[in-house]
Amino acid sequence: MRINVIENLLYFALKIIKNFDKRQTDLKNFNPDEVKNILVVSSTAIGDTLMSTPAIRAIRERYPHAKIIAHFNVKNMELFENNPHIDGIIPYYGGWKKFFKTIREFRKNKFDLAVILHGNEPQATPMAYLGGARFIVKVPIPKKFAFLISNETNGFENSLNNHGIDVRLKAASFIDCKESKREMVLLLDEESINKVQNLLKEVDINNKYTLVGFQIGAANKYKMWAPDRFIQLGKRLIELDKNIFILILGSEKEIELCEKVKDGIKYKVISLAGKLSLKELGALINRLNILVTNDTGTMHLAIALKKKTVSLFCPTNFWGVGPIQDNHLHRIIAKEKPCNPCLTKKCKSPFCMDLIGVNEVYEAVRESLYENNSL
């Protein structure tokens, strides 16, 4: 209730402020030659921010001399500190936390425009406006705060029927950027690479092994393949090849879950859940031969790093968030969602991921690993 009160008060306040704003903020008055300072917003999850990196690259290519400041989630911004297309990061703390402090930071930068690639509403658009940006573009246009947005159309008949990368590129196209390269951008740093190398040496994992990663968890239960299925898959892969070693990945919250899978597989397996920073997770994924993954940020890390994946989807749509670059590296196993409408987060007993069988995942991994006798 309190959140709705804050949102409604903000809405009416912005309606009044906008009414007295004499700036011409629609795109017909936009002049690319006058742009000096740009805010790019992608303040949600790891995968969402990675899917924003092609659009950020497009913005940098169109505005090579502009200062580009990113507004990224404080929980994952370390992954993007060395992104070559931004000049700095202002953290997003979630919800209404440090709302006014963030606005003050925005105003210091005197942004000419803000490109909201993926941001939580109702915060993202009001913060961009109150932060001083004259022009604000976003796809899809937020219903409640549409009056603050400079673009009058989403550029799609239905933006929800397009891949997340294409939706972000469409937003960038409104400020004269080319909708071209779709490849995500992720750079590793030497310190993290060295830490991962030392970690693998400590547990006696060397270059003779074929490293198979298991991403067990996901942001929501309905996106997760069952632990017992991962256990069955792991056992079969170890029987397949004596050189296969399985690395189980997960967050600190998923330690117990990952340990359960590790104990079930028993041999040639280790759990690294909660032991890696995000940068180190990227460096570890870069060492894998293949990743078997649910629909989650770890999947996007592997795609960005051009590592082989077998990704599992139901009920989320692989064509909206799954691999879109280097398709030869990726195998997608997707099932039609059995419930309509899908309850997603509200589903108390999700079963849809159980439609994916162990054998089909095993075959996808085996075929990917040994195609062209690459191993």
CA angle 60, 46, 213 (to 5 degrees): 120
Is there a single domain that holds both residue 363 and residue 274? yes
Residue 66 resides in a domain: yes
Is there a single domain that holds both residue 200 and residue 132? no
Is there a single domain that holds both residue 168 and residue 25? yes
Please state the separation of Cα 339 from the chain's center in Å: 26
pLDDT digits (tens, 9 = 90+) for 173-192: 999 999 889 999 999 999 99
Number of domains in the chain: 2
Say if residue 280's pLDDT is above 60. Answer: yes
Is there a single domain that holds both residue 145 and residue 212? no
Token pair listed for 318? 């692989």
Mean pLDDT, the chain, whole residue set: 94
Is there a single domain that holds both residue 214 and residue 275? yes
The arithmetic mean of pLDDT across residues 35-49, rounded, is 97
Residue 372 banded pLDDT, cuts 50, 70, 90: low
Say if residue 272's pLDDT is above 70. Answer: yes
pLDDT of residue 234: 97
- CATH number at 320 reads 3.40.50.2000
Is there a single domain that holds both residue 334 and residue 218? yes
| Chosen domain end from 114, 146, 173 | 173
Is there a single domain that holds both residue 126 and residue 194? no
pLDDT of residue 29: 96
Alpha carbon distance 242, 219 (integer Å): 33
| Chosen domain end from 121, 148, 173 | 173
Residue 146 resides in a domain: yes
Q: What percent of the chain is modeled with pLDDT above 70?
A: 98
- Domain membership of residue 133 as a residue range: 2-173
Residue 2 banded pLDDT, cuts 50, 70, 90: low
Alpha carbon distance 150, 114 (integer Å): 10
352, 222 Cβ separation under 8 angstroms: yes
Is there a single domain that holds both residue 229 and residue 364? yes
Is there a single domain that holds both residue 169 and residue 206? no
pLDDT of residue 371: 80
Residue 3 banded pLDDT, cuts 50, 70, 90: low
Say if residue 240's pLDDT is above 50. Answer: yes
Alpha carbon distance 289, 241 (integer Å): 13
Is there a single domain that holds both residue 165 and residue 197? no
Say if residue 6's pLDDT is above 60. Answer: yes
Is there a single domain that holds both residue 25 and residue 120? yes
Residue 182 resides in a domain: no
